[in-house]
A and B are shown apart, each in its own frame.
Chain A
Amino acid sequence: MSENQNELELKDRLSLIESMIAEGRRTTESWGWTFVLWGVANCTAILWTALAHFPYAWPITMTAAWVLTLVVAARRCAKRPSTTLGRAVSSIWIAFGISMMMLFPALGISGRIDEYIQISVASAMLGMAYAASAILLRWKAQFACALVWWSLSVYACFGKSTPVAIAYMSAIFLCMIVFGFYGMIAEARRCKQAASHA
């Protein structure tokens, strides 16, 4: 009897964990817009720097992207309860955001950064955040993005300027813009299904 009860309890706990993973993935999908926003912001900053040679292109674009993210996120988060996995994933991205905000302005001000280091370090850190989130959510698409970031991080150390820049733009397109749209489409589909079931 007690063995049966234990088995039932374990099954309940497992099903709860499974539902938490699914909820966590849904939560990440609902953040698809941030991937798109940051992908577009990165492309804007790169093009602005390359075409206009404006030294404040990166700080201005990144600050604008931050403000926009905070405003939209504050409006969306007020409507939703957070899940355990959602909290874990968000902790990864919050920590990643703070690190980037500390590291890159300091590197920029010190004048010790060049395009290779910038791309290599940013890609390694993005790979870290994507991989951690993907392992948590058991999400192959996101792990594939992490592999792309890691490969770019190594390539940027050895490649030449133009190919590295092209590879970076391609990685942003694939892992931020396409991946973000994929999340947004998945979320829109779910909303439609929920509306039709209601």
Chain B
Amino acid sequence: MTVNVEEQELKDRLSLIETMIAEGRRTTESWGWTFVLWGVAYYVAIGWDILGHNPWAWVITMTIALLLMMTILWYKAKRQTEKSPLTRAGRSISAIWTATGISMMMLFPAMGFSARFSPQIFVAVASAMLGTTNAASGIILKWKAQISCAMVWWAASAVACLASVAQCTIVFLVAIFLCQIVFGSYMMIREACQRKQGASHA
């Protein structure tokens, strides 16, 4: 009898965990626009830096992207009539991205102002950090597409160390396109499909 109860409890717990993972993946999909936004922001900063030779290109673009993201988030939260509860996986993912965001905001401006780093080091470190975050999220959500993005970032990180500035820029642009813009758009499409399905079921 006790064995049956324990087995049932274990099954309940497992199904709750599975639900949490699925909910977490849906939550991540609803953040697809941020991937696209930051991907485009990186492109703008790189383009402005290369073509306009403006030393403030990165600082200005990143600040605008951050402000834009916060404004959209605020607008979305305001528009939402019913507050959706934060899931365990969702909390895990947001913890990882928050920590990455703070680390990047601390490290890169300091490195830039100290003038102690080269473009290759910037690409290598940024790619390694994004690889870490995508891999951790991918493992938590058991999401192969995101783990693949992490692998692309890690490969870009290793290649950037050994490449010339031009090669390293190309590698970074390709990684941004694949892991931010394509992956972000894929998430947005999936979210839109789910919303459509939800509307047709209602």
Q: Do A and B come from one complex?
A: yes
What is the interface of chain A, defined by CB distance below 8 A to chain B? 13, 16-17, 20, 84-85, 87-88, 91-92, 94-96, 98-100, 102-103, 106-107, 109-110, 112-114, 116-117, 120-121, 124-125, 127-133, 135-136, 146, 150, 153-154, 157-158
Contact status of A135 and B161, CB under 8 A, knowing A92-B136, A120-B111, A153-B106: no
What is the interface of chain B, defined by CB distance below 8 A to chain A? 13, 16-17, 20, 88-89, 91-92, 95-96, 98-100, 102-104, 106-107, 110-111, 113-114, 116-118, 120-121, 124-125, 128-129, 131-133, 135-136, 139-140, 150, 154, 157-158, 161-162
Contact status of A125 and B103, CB under 8 A, knowing A92-B96, A112-B118, A158-B114: yes
* Residues from chain B with Cβ under 8 Å of A154 in the complex: 106-107, 110
Contact status of A128 and B99, CB under 8 A, knowing A88-B92, A107-B124: yes
* Residues from chain A with Cβ under 8 Å of B118 in the complex: 112
* Residues from chain A with Cβ under 8 Å of B104 in the complex: 124
What is the chain A residue whose CB lies nearest that of B111? A157
Q: Which of A99, A112, A158 contacts B129 (CB 8 A)?
A: A99
Task: Determine the distance from Cα of A66 to Cα of B190 in the docked complex, in whole angstroms.
Answer: 39
* Residues from chain A with Cβ under 8 Å of B111 in the complex: 117, 120, 157
Q: Across the A-B interface, how many residue pairs have beta carbons closer than 8 Å?
A: 151
Task: Determine the distance from Cα of A17 to Cα of B118 in the docked complex, in whole angstroms.
Answer: 45
**Contact A136–B133 (Cβ < 8 Å):** no
Contact status of A88 and B124, CB under 8 A, knowing A107-B161, A128-B99: no
Q: Which of A107, A110, A120 contacts B107 (CB 8 A)?
A: A120
Contact status of A112 and B161, CB under 8 A, knowing A92-B96, A107-B124, A157-B116: yes
Task: Determine the distance from Cα of A111 to Cα of B145 in the docked complex, in whole angstroms.
Answer: 33
